[in-house]
């Protein structure tokens, strides 16, 4: 329900009350693209100074499932949905429609209260035309690709009309940053944006006096910039640093830095995240934020609830709570525990390595969520030079385009008899696979069996599975139950990696394990891989220069075939920045 309040007006010159009128809560979200927070502080920006404003962050959390590019597409998608990329799925500027399961604020408002009017006025068109084109179907006024000056004029017009929610997007600072980097043109664009902000603030103040309506204006940006001001997109402090401002009082989530378990980027995660903007706007508009929505940030107005929620892959949750309210813990929409306010951690005792797990902690009617795609890559199959297949612990598979370096559209899909004839019954048991030649691929199961897959007929051959024994895989029989990964190498060699940190080398020409094996996986035999010997879940031969090892905890290692060693800088997280779409929904 739309929040209202009764305003009694006193008739001029007459000491009596006239009939009361209804005053409403209304909101404007002003987004200014590509603004560096430090520049706002350094320049003369008197209208920014009129706000309750503080540093905030974008880009998710580096190394976690919610890590995303510090680019406009992911940034504006997060600002308008209240969730990170592992929910909204807008991973680049060229992405298509955002995930309908996590709709934008436009749809949230319409679904909760269809009588509320809305406007979306943007300079950068993809926000309206690409990511949220479905959601804005019920928005009364939509303008795309218009100038910053026209956005400002249109916003003022909508405020004067009394439109309930207005999203306005200015783009000139980002344009000048890309064109000329930091410098006079960029600085001037921020000063101009400040003036446009001032025009909007002035109109809001007049509108409040005339109507009694309570207008919340929030101001933010989608990302910072690199050290020269020219670009962005990386997980760097200045590119992750943004700001959030409000013309209304806010709670301590915005005003106070509070560092939790993660102190990376000089404690940047101790500030608010751009995920808090949507719950704040909804709360102001009188729309209850439901725990089923799984929004990733708490509201910046109202009572504080759980803050700085973190979750590990083993289901261990940590947070900070400064309220006196009980904490209700939900796992995938089911209430699983209620804790007293004094608690700041919780261990999930249920095995959650079954795909996607959503935790929501609700306290003081201010829920906050954290999503884990808690799955591993169980097997990788290099089909040809342009395509690879990955089989995941949630019994789904992904077809990966090596050329475009991303999962193909429509994936993941379930492994079944329609898409992998003969393999569907073993989808929960797959532990390894490799491409033998142009005719055959092999799949291995955790119970010591294997299947021969005919690449020409695209099906498992008759008579399989068979046991891995002295007849079928000479020398491998004693280790059949211990295989965790296979790696097709150059020539006729295949490596089998075992769960005890050892490996074997198999010769396909001789059809037997080479003498002298098993050997330990260490930095002498596999330089750089030794520390991860018992963490390997899958391996795949990519091309003649490199292979990849996947580790538990959603990490991976790139191995140079040329230098026969792990490349520097690994392991890295397996997420949408490194393997686009591989572990997504």
Asked if 309 and 202 sit in the same domain, the reply is no
Asked if 79 and 127 sit in the same domain, the reply is yes
Residue 216 CB contacts under 8 Å (≥ 6 apart), including other chains: 25, 26, 27, 28, 246, 247, 248, 280, 281, 284, 301
Q: How far apart are CA 253 and CA 271, in angstroms?
A: 7
Closest listed residue to residue 56, CA positions, set 251, 230, 223:
223
**Domain annotation covers residue 495:** yes
Instruction: List residues bridging with 328 in a β-sheet.
Output: 338, 362
CB of 449 closer than 8 Å to CB of 457: no
**Domain annotation covers residue 27:** yes
CATH assignment at residue 534: 2.110.10.10
**Domain annotation covers residue 337:** yes
CATH assignment at residue 222: 3.40.720.10
**Domain annotation covers residue 578:** no
CB of 416 closer than 8 Å to CB of 407: no
Q: How far apart are CA 24 and CA 151, in angstroms?
A: 24
CATH assignment at residue 308: 2.60.40.10
**Domain annotation covers residue 403:** yes
Q: How far apart are CA 323 and CA 478, in angstroms?
A: 58
| Domain closes at, from 327, 349, 373 | 373
Q: What angle do the packed helices 105-112 and 277-284 form, to 10 degrees?
A: 30
Q: Where are the alpha helices (DSSP H) in 181-276?
A: 184-211, 237-240, 252-255, 264-267
The tally of domains found in the chain comes to 3
Asked if 382 and 497 sit in the same domain, the reply is yes
Tokens of 312: 């590990």
- The residue segments making up the domain with residue 560 are 377-573
Residue 14 CB contacts under 8 Å (≥ 6 apart), including other chains: none
Asked if 278 and 314 sit in the same domain, the reply is no
What residue ranges of the chain have pLDDT lower than 50? 1-21
Asked if 38 and 181 sit in the same domain, the reply is yes
pTM of the model: 0.74
Q: How far apart are CA 536 and CA 34, in angstroms?
A: 40
Whether the bond between 434 and the residue before it is cis, its omega within 30 degrees of 0, is: no
Q: How far apart are CA 493 and CA 484, in angstroms?
A: 17
Question: What's the CA dihedral at 540, 399, 315, 529 to 10 degrees?
Answer: 10
| Domain closes at, from 239, 273, 302 | 302
- pLDDT, tens digit, 9 for 90 and up, residues 88-100: 989 889 889 999 9
Residue 24: its pLDDT value, please? 94
Residue 32 CB contacts under 8 Å (≥ 6 apart), including other chains: 170, 173, 193, 197, 219, 220, 221
Say which residue the tokens 């949507």 belong to.
Answer: 278
Asked if 423 and 521 sit in the same domain, the reply is yes
**Domain annotation covers residue 585:** no
**Domain annotation covers residue 2:** no
Q: How far apart are CA 287 and CA 451, in angstroms?
A: 55
Asked if 170 and 315 sit in the same domain, the reply is no
Asked if 55 and 92 sit in the same domain, the reply is yes
Residue 394: its pLDDT value, please? 82
Q: In what order do the strands lie in the sheet with 355-362?
A: 334-339, 327-331, 355-362, 368-374
| Domain closes at, from 373, 406, 422 | 373
Asked if 429 and 455 sit in the same domain, the reply is yes
Asked if 449 and 537 sit in the same domain, the reply is yes
Asked if 345 and 433 sit in the same domain, the reply is no
Asked if 172 and 198 sit in the same domain, the reply is yes
**Domain annotation covers residue 582:** no
């Amino acid at each position: 329900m739309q929040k209202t309040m009764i305003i009694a007006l006193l008739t001029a010159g007459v000491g009596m009350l006239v009939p009361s009128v209804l005053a409403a809560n209304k909101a404007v979200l002003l987004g200014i693209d590509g603004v560096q927070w430090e520049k706002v502080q350094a320049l003369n920006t008197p209208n920014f100074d009129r706000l309750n404003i503080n540093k905030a962050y974008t880009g998710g959390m580096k190394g976690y499932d919610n890590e995303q590019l510090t680019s406009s597409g992911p940034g504006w998608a997060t600002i308008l949905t209240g969730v990170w990329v592992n929910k909204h799925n807008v991973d680049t500027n060229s992405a298509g429609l955002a995930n309908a399961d996590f709709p934008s604020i436009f749809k949230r408002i319409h679904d909760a209260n269809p009588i509320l009017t809305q406007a979306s006025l943007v300079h950068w068109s993809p926000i309206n035309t690409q990511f949220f084109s479905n959601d804005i179907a019920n928005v009364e006024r939509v303008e795309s690709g218009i100038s910053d000056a026209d956005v400002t004029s249109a916003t003022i017009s909508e405020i004067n009309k009394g439109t309930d929610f207005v999203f306005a997007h200015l783009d000139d600072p980002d344009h000048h940053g890309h064109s000329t980097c930091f410098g006079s043109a960029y600085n001037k664009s921020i000063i101009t944006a400040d003036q446009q902000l001032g025009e909007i603030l002035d109109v809001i103040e007049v509108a409040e006096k005339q109507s009694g309506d309570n207008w919340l204006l929030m101001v933010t940006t989608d990302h910072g910039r690199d050290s020269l001001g020219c670009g962005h997109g990386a997980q760097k402090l200045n590119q992750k640093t943004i700001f959030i401002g409000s013309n209304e009082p806010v709670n301590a989530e915005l005003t106070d830095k509070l560092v939790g378990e993660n102190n990376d980027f000089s404690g940047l995660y101790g500030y608010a995240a751009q995920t808090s903007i949507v719950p704040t706007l909804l709360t102001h508009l009188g729309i209850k934020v439901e725990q089923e929505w799984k929004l990733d940030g708490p509201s910046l107005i109202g009572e504080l609830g759980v803050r700085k929620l973190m979750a590990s892959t083993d289901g261990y949750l940590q947070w900070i709570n400064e309220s006196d309210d009980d904490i209700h813990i939900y796992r995938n929409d089911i209430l699983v525990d209620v804790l007293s306010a004094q608690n700041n951690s919780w261990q999930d005792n249920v095995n959650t390595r079954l795909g996607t797990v959503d935790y929501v902690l609700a306290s003081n009617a201010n829920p906050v969520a954290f999503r884990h795609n808690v799955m591993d890559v169980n097997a990788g199959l290099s089909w040809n030079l342009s395509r690879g297949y990955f089989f995941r612990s949630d019994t789904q598979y992904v077809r990966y385009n090596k050329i475009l370096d991303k999962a193909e559209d429509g994936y993941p899909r379930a492994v079944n008899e329609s898409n992998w004839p003969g393999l569907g019954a073993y989808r929960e048991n797959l532990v390894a696979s490799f491409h033998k030649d142009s005719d055959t691929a092999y799949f291995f199961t955790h119970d010591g069996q294997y299947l021969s897959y005919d690449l020409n007929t695209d099906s498992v051959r008759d008579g399989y599975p068979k046991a891995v024994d002295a007849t079928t895989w000479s020398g491998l029989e004693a280790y059949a139950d211990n295989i965790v990964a296979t790696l097709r190498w150059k020539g006729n060699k295949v490596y089998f990696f075992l769960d005890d940190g050892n490996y074997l080398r198999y010769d396909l020409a001789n059809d037997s394990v080479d003498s002298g094996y098993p050997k330990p996986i260490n930095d002498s035999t596999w330089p750089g891989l030794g520390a991860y010997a018992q963490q390997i879940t899958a391996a795949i031969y990519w091309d003649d220069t490199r292979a990849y090892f996947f580790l538990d905890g959603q990490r991976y290692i790139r191995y140079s075939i040329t230098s026969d060693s792990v490349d520097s800088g690994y392991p890295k997280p397996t997420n949408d920045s490194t393997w686009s779409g591989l572990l997504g929904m």
